[in-house]
Structure 1
């Protein structure tokens, strides 16, 4: 902390004035009673009394307060309060109170933030533990059963090994997603920007999950017939991962005989917005602020039955933000959901009639 010292004279000024006025009044009354009132003597007394009082009070009070105030500054500095550490030590109580109040408010905010992070950390560790131990115990159970003698039956051996393999695949899936989201959060994942047709990419994702959607008779469709390509500038592989996660979620939580619709519309400047809309069960408003948290699940039991690592939407958010773009979500419970994100459009490939729906 800086060693400079900011003096405050206000207390000494006022205290000396009050003492001088009181003594002058008493002395004037005394001389008036004795018929010895002398104005020059009174004026001299006022000057002398005020000067002596000021020096004594300023010196004593300053020394008294400085020692105690300096201890307050030193204690605060030990708590790493940079704003106070750089300011001079002041004996002005008003200034000191403001600085201490500012310090207390900052500490309160930091403590509240730490409590939120601690709660999040506990929840995250609990979720990670649950997600990992389920496939681990499953694999262990199958292997122990085989070791106990079931491996002598070729049919059981083949079935249990396949199930154990699925458990290991799920572990690998979770670990890969954790590794990816960690790289995205620390900025270690490099993006390979290219120009590509977003319509073609969406169609390829449709083709990839057509069989999965057909099991629930869900139609994967565009909102209109796009005749011209829409060329965007982004990491094609990562955007495919974003589309895959959003479309798989719409199938996973969509209703039987429903639809998953993708639309691409022009925004201001050189941006397009990609919307993935379904008419599934929707999401309650209370859950929306936490949708993109790692391992956060709206339906704690049902969503686990559907599989997945619980990291899909968190990865989607980080990928879009790594592109310096925005992702949005709108949902009506029991009606459906819409996830949308922006992308940079390549200017030399103008989009014709994008966002104009046919009737």
Structure 2
């Protein structure tokens, strides 16, 4: 009897231990399941939220409960979004500046035309001499508006690829000479010499849209005349590069451009002179058009400049066989 009671007393703690162990194991498994389910549910919600914002990065990835992996993905996502936000801020600043510039460019001739027409309507039209003078000035204002709108239309077509190029083979030397002749009188007003760097006795044949390349050369040379010093020089050189390329350089000894302005020279309406002066005329779109025409030819344009020394604009063209 005593032996039985002793065995029973020894069995009770063992039973309690086994019961406690089973209870602990069951509770641990239940808690672990519930915690994992809770964590999965929260992480799944994070993925859903991220998917709404960025469908590309997370759509293909399977959901993971590994916190290190998830942290890396979210960190990468946050960095990408920060970069996008900064880019959008920069674009917004450019947009505001562009809208301000285009507003200024358009309102100046508009107000000029309006002023002359209002003066004529107030009675000046009865004076033949005054009427003719004011109508001519109003007409110049309208011509300037048309010039700006045409340039904007051209840039838009170049950007979206709607402006087709008529690619032919032509002599770039002859084309430059014809541009010199067209701008000879304009250069003479500032006593600026238009010249080649050397005599080109033989034709240099290139491929491109001759009319558009003429516009590129005209815009670059007109700029060099506008901002060139009196009795200065605008020089053009044609250098044969390796393989099938030539590079045309337009160099002047004018005002030059400060370094901080160079990255933005080819933006629409961007002007180095922030004073608002428009004494030199132009649409403010010349260099933007140059850039788009050259890029439409799948070529490159470059600029080098030193303030108070001069500038050099250059672009490449494909040589004809």
Alignment of 1:324 onto 2:292: no
CA distance in 2, matches of 1:267, 1:66: 62
1:60 Cα deviation after fit: 1.6
Alignment of 1:227 onto 2:201: yes
5+ residue gaps, structure 2, are 1-9, 12-16
Partner of 1:6: none
Would you say how many aligned residue pairs link Structure 1 and Structure 2?
309
The 3-state SS of whatever aligns with 1:268 is coil
Partner of 2:269: 295
1:81 Cα deviation after fit: 3.6
Partner of 1:335: 309
Alignment of 1:105 onto 2:88: no
Tell me if the contact between 1:81 and 1:103 (Cα under 8 Å) persists in the aligned partners: no
Partner of 2:96: 122
Q: What is the aligned-residue RMSD (CA, Å)?
A: 2.2
Distance 1:224 1:48, change over 3 A: farther
Partner of 2:231: 257
1:54 Cα deviation after fit: 6.3
The 3-state SS of whatever aligns with 2:163 is coil
Partner of 1:245: 219
CA distance in 1, matches of 2:243, 2:300: 15
The 3-state SS of whatever aligns with 1:328 is strand
Partner of 2:289: 315
Alignment of 1:67 onto 2:41: yes
User: Deviations 1:238-266 (Å, cap 9, x if unpaired)?
Assistant: 00000000000000000000000000001
Distance 1:50 1:328, change over 3 A: farther
Q: Where in structure 1 do 4 or more consecutive aligned residues deviate above 2 Å? A: 47-58, 300-303
User: Deviations 1:283-322 (Å, cap 9, x if unpaired)?
Assistant: 0111101000000000133761100010000010010011
Distance 1:344 1:49, change over 3 A: farther
Match of 2:64 among 90, 94, 103: 90
1:85 Cα deviation after fit: 2.5
Match of 1:77 among 51, 61, 68: 51
Alignment of 1:282 onto 2:256: yes
Q: TM-score, normalised by structure 2?
A: 0.91
The 3-state SS of whatever aligns with 1:314 is helix
Partner of 2:29: 55
1:327 Cα deviation after fit: 0.3
The equivalences for 1:127-146 within 5 A come to 127-146=101-120
Tell me if the contact between 1:284 and 1:333 (Cα under 8 Å) persists in the aligned partners: yes
1:52 Cα deviation after fit: 4.6
CA distance in 2, matches of 1:300, 1:145: 31
1:212 Cα deviation after fit: 0.2
Alignment of 1:209 onto 2:183: yes
CA distance in 1, matches of 2:100, 2:88: 18
Tell me if the contact between 1:297 and 1:303 (Cα under 8 Å) persists in the aligned partners: no
CA distance in 1, matches of 2:27, 2:242: 73
